[in-house]
Structure 1
Amino acid sequence: MDHKRKLKSRDLYLAKLKGFQDTEPVKVVTGIRRCGKSSLLKLMVQHLKDSGIKDDQIIEMNFESFDFHNMDAAGFYNYVKARSIPNKRMYLFFDEVQHVTRWEDVVNAFRVDLDCDIYVTGSNAYMLSSEYSTYLSGRCVEIKMLPLSFREFIDFYGFHLRESTGAFGEKRKLVSDQDGNPYEIRELFNIYLRYGGMPGLAETGLNQERAMILLDGIYSTVVVRDILERETLKNQTRVTDPALLRKIILFLADNLGSRISLSSIGNTLADEGLVEKKGKRSKPSVITVQNYVNALIEAYFFYEIKRFDIRGKEYLRTLGKYYIVDPGLRNYLLGFRDRDRGHILENIVYFELLRRGYDVSVGKIGTAEVDFVAVKADEKIYFQVTESMLDEKVREREIAALQKIKDNYPKVILSLEPGFDDSYEGISSVHVLDWMLEPYH
């Protein structure tokens, strides 16, 4: 079968690439390994060909391929220059370009020396935060890619989503497979909660053993290539202990959505005997923990969310939260635990807000906390997330924090079991699956 036919579209990200086509900035697609960056470049190449760009105007290089193994900066430059056609616009696609030392010099040279439109991917944020920005500050646009949303998950696995109108005019969403057989949306969501949204899982047929092998491969590659080897390339020794790195990963994965201080990580690891005692030092220093956590964030494995004082209108420096990029990776690390469904649901909502372009923080108001404050341009929405609102005490707790906020921005409670109809004192109660399946604007 033609490989191109098997590519599933990622419309959210492809639309962004198309929007920047033939503009000066270098298009930089970032995200954790295997989230679909390479396929996105292939989709963009196909779009160019469909719009009349000739094959010889397109140069594709995947630096994970042995074809370009150990290629240095000069070899990189000469390879592209030799294949560029004078007086024609070239379209350059460089996948995992961070493997080439001084790649940023080369890409900058292409901008100066060639008539070209450049697209690159990378699996480590360090390439943008330090190296790249030095050379191309203001001349690149970052497109942040994530694993599949629930809506994309449904599409990737060959299901069809449609909306139906009930007997009393109510709207409801229905899902069926390619043969028209109906499925419960909740059933598919339970699979999404379990296996996550890594695109490669669609090829495993959601077989648990094969899924775990694939997730193990992703985990190992991120840890070894994007953290441990990357640190060596930078000639730094911030992250040197693979065992400690794994323990910190497990700690963060086990404490999704909890307020965490860096010192508490070290204390917990020491108290539980997870780190060896060395003389008087019984725990890793805060600086060491910070370095390891930063490396995980740079590899897009975990995302940090800051706390925001709603009344004081300022960000707080202490007790942030961490979310894992994909629930399947968490289940691979810790096993499948039903008691954690609420935390995983919160985790999923956080990344859905990022996909929709919101800046997200945790809201603090007095002693109460709002799960997410989502801001985009002039828009602001407050969100609480809970698995069920059927219990009266849970309802009171979730509503109470939102009631303390006195502005007029929307306030929404997302749950799998809404506890009241539509709204209460201006607070909307929304089924989280309906919300997640809304089309993006």
Structure 2
Amino acid sequence: MKDITRIENPKLVKHLEAPEVTLLTGSRQVGKTTLMRQIQDKLQGQGKTFFHFNLEFENYLNAFNENPLHLFDFVPTKKGSKTIVFIDEIQYLKNPSNFLKLLYDEYKTDIKLVVTGSSAFYIDEKFKDSLAGRKRLFHIKPISFAEFILYKKGKDYFSYLAKGLNPKNSIPQVYATEMEDLFDEYLVFGGYPAVVKTDDVQEKIDILIEISTSYVQKDLFDNGVRKSNEFRMMLELIASQCCGQLNVNDLSKMVKATVPTINNYLHLLEKSFHITQVKPFFNNYSKELVKMPKLFFQDNGFRNALLNNFSRLITRDDKGTLLENQTLQQLLVHYREQDIKYWRTTEQNEVDFILKDKKALEIKFKQEEFKESKYKLFRSVYEEYPLLVASFKKEKNKLSVWEI
């Protein structure tokens, strides 16, 4: 089975030339190890020397915990040349920050470190400020729709994607129709590599259910969460409220857990790369809501597994939600998280996304669902923000979400 080409790959390969530690983070089963192996294949083809250690193997873990310098029991170095060392699952070390700091400070001319860590909350706990200026983080996400298309259809289709907010992009209708069918599949099953690689629907479902279940049972247990049923209830609630405003007090009452507990759960979800919060946009307008963020999932397949709903898009009541949720992931290709906001007033006037470069974006499953009259207030207050509408299908001079 062929590999999925990751768009991050060239950036990672280029960073091998930098002295800083290259740190790959992301949720479990998102493809960090595979990406690491692809880089190693490239190095092997160039005749370069490298070593790979997986810290799930206790002999390496015990040796490195005892003394970071035990690395050199396994890695010979040569004067005048740098050896590349790959370390998988760095968070298993008792003190990974000290391990990396020592090796970087004392041996950065001899070795280049490339490491993976399963979840950001591990890094929050163990990777202290001592690594400031010594590392660069690469957030490895599930397969993007552009990568999905590149894997499924090749470069011809791929060339029509990731163009940004340009409604005048042209694409042959035969391509557009097939793209919509593939986008339908992607919106339901998401971008985990194992899911993308199989064409068997039941296998896709089984993989996603296993990913969501193992997250609750393993990752959270490792971080001190013992009330898995309580956490699961909250997960299912926020999955059903995806793309809506996050009201922690309401969640607390429904789950029967304290507000600090709910906040901790949300923190763990965010730092393990499963959810993203988008903050409200305001500009000294008294009736604009400025408190509650909107909550999004980083993968639709993971979200659908929590609800056990893998129905085709056309039959779903939440197809607009899936489209809006995916839109955020598309926007994050072009914008930083802090540069994307949403706008809403106490009278329920709303625009889905407000972007730092003074663009506004509204998501409708069908273009005809957009009613100009509902956006008069926004246009009058923010005249300098052109309002674009993106939908599922590609129409002439109109924007489709999968083009973003």
Q: What's the TM-score, normalizing by structure 2?
A: 0.85
Distance 1:68 1:400, change over 3 A: farther
Question: Secondary structure of the residue that 1:245 maps to in structure 2?
Answer: helix
How far apart in 1 are the matches of 2:358 and 2:249? 32
Aligned partners of 1:389 and 1:418 also within 8 Å: no
Matches within 5 A, 1:370-409: 370-375=351-356, 379-391=357-369, 394-396=370-372, 399-400=375-376, 402-409=378-385
Partner of 1:27: 22
Show the counterpart of 1:275. none
**Kept in 2: contact 1:159–1:175 (CA 8 A):** no
Letter in 2 for 1:171: S
Q: What is the match of residue 336 of structure 1?
A: 310
1:76 Cα deviation from its structure 2 partner: 5.5
For 2:121 and 2:68, locate their aligned partners in 1 and report how far apart those are by CA, in whole Å: 21
Tell me the distance in 1 between the aligned counterparts of 2:252 and 2:204: 32
Cα offsets for 1:171-206 (capped at 9, x unmatched): 314678xxxxx962211111111211111123322x
**Match of residue 260, structure 1, among 242, 246, 259:** 246
Is 2:55 the partner of 1:63?
yes
Q: 1:83 aligns with which of 70, 75, 80?
A: 75
Contact 1:310/1:365 (<8 A) preserved? no
Change (3 A) 1:219 1:64: farther
Shift in alpha-carbon separation, 1:83–1:401, aligned structure 2, 3 A: farther
- Structure 1 vs Structure 2: percent identity of aligned residues? 23
CA shift in 2, pair 1:371/1:71, >3 Å: farther
Contact 1:307 1:319 in 2 (8 A): yes
Cα deviations across residues 205-243 of structure 1 (Å, max 9, x unaligned)? 2x22211221122123322332221x14xxxxxx32000
Which residue of structure 2 aligns with residue 102 of structure 1?
Answer: 95
- Per-residue CA deviation, residues 56-93 of structure 1 (Å, 9 max, x unaligned), is xx121222456646665126641345413131312121
Which secondary structure does the structure 2 equivalent of 1:101 belong to? Answer: coil
d(CA) in 2 for partners of 1:216, 1:418: 32
SS in 1 for 2:128: helix
171, 177, 189: which is aligned to 1:195? 189
Structure 2 stretches lacking a partner, 5+ long: 161-167
The answer to whether the 8 Å contact 2:5/2:147 transfers is no
Letter in 2 for 1:306: K
Answer yes or no: is the 8 Å Cα contact 2:104–2:134 preserved in 1. Answer: no
Secondary structure of 1:161's counterpart equals helix
Residue 138 of structure 1 is aligned with which of 111, 133, 137?
133
Q: What value does the CA root-mean-square deviation take over the aligned residues?
A: 3.0
Counterpart of 1:113 in structure 2 is 106
- How many residue pairs are counted as aligned between the two chains? 384
Q: Which residues in structure 2 correspond to 1:350-389 (within 5 Å)?
A: 350-358=328-336, 359-364=339-344, 367=347, 368-375=349-356, 379-389=357-367
Structure 1: gaps spanning 5 or more residues: 177-181, 233-238, 270-282, 423-428, 437-441
Deviations 1:7-45 (A, max 9, x none): 32202x112213322213222211111111111111222
Cα contact 1:26–1:141 (8 A) shared by 2 = yes
Q: Is the 8 A contact 2:91 2:126 kept in 1?
A: no
Match of 1:228 among 221, 226, 248: 221
CA distance in 2, matches of 1:9, 1:128: 27
Q: Distance in 1 between matches of 2:88 and 2:173?
A: 38
Separation (CA, whole Å) in 2 of partners of 1:372 and 1:93: 39
The amino acid of 1:215's aligned partner reads L
3-state SS of 1:172 partner: coil
Q: In terms of mean alpha carbon deviation, does 360-369 or 218-227 score higher?
A: 360-369
Select the structure that is richer in strand: 1
Higher-RCO chain (CA-CA 8 Å, sequence separation at least 6): 2
Match of 1:430 in 2: 399
- The change in CA–CA distance for 1:135 and 1:152 in structure 2 (over 3 A counts) is same
1:149 paired to 2:144: yes
Residue 163 of structure 2 corresponds to which residue in structure 1?
Answer: none
